[in-house]
Amino acid sequence: MATRFRDLLGVVATVFVSLAIVRLVDAVGKRELVRAAREVQVEYDSVQAEFDVLHLTGRRLREDREFLEFRLASLSRREPYLILDRARSRLTLAIADKTVLETKFRLRGPAQEQEELARLSGATLEVLATRANTDWYRPDWLYRLEGIEPPRDSAARTVANAFGPGEIFLGGDIVIHGPASESVPAEAIDHSYIELDTNALKTVLDAVKPGTIVRIR
């Protein structure tokens, strides 16, 4: 009886030892798998970073090539054109290879639309239209916010030249105009725009017309 009991204890001990070894091997295997997964992730991140750099470099080279082609084409034209350099926040008005005006501009309007305009890929657009005035009409909600009944006569709502002496409309819903009047609250401006100082805006307005080429860098 005692011998059988000892034999049974031996079998039980062997089973427990075997289970312990299996669990140990399983744990080691899992650690190895986790380590291997981390190494693969590090390698993937490194390759992805290199790809992103190459992609960005390729895009910049492509934009530089397009800009050079644009400048070469403009040399044969005797009409003015615009260059919007977002990296330097500079607008250039030129004819052939001569700079007529170079001035600083500012992106204005809702933050989300400013970001979209800033992320826009380099492109060649053209002036769609210009307007000699920038009259603005106060909306109903602005009157009600001030506790005032909105007037029915649109003339009573008008803020003359609210955005300077004129506007230039480009493709891609991009507009160039002057600084907003103090009569136009910031929360009432529902569009993004490129803001020029008044004198610079007048010079550009005098020079451009529908069809004028605009290069965005």
CATH superfamily name and code, 78-216: L,D-transpeptidase catalytic domain-like (2.40.440.10)
pLDDT the model gives residue 74: 56
Q: How confident is the prediction for the chain on average, in pLDDT?
A: 78
Name the residue among 197, 211, 200, 217 with its Cα closest to residue 81.
Answer: 211
Other C-beta atoms lying within 10 Å of the C-beta of residue 207 = 17
* pTM: predicted TM-score of the whole model, two decimal places: 0.61
Q: So what's the pLDDT on residue 199?
A: 94
- pLDDT attached to residue 71: 57
Residue 196 banded pLDDT, cuts 50, 70, 90 = very high
pLDDT of residue 37: 59
Q: Long-range contacts for 45-48 (Cβ within 8 Å, ≥24 apart)?
A: none
* Cα distance between residue 169 and residue 175, in whole Å: 5
Alpha-carbon distance of 110 to 108, in angstroms, equals 7
Domain borders along the chain are 1-76, 78-216
Q: What is the pLDDT of residue 66?
A: 56
Alpha-carbon distance 91 to 109, whole Å? 18
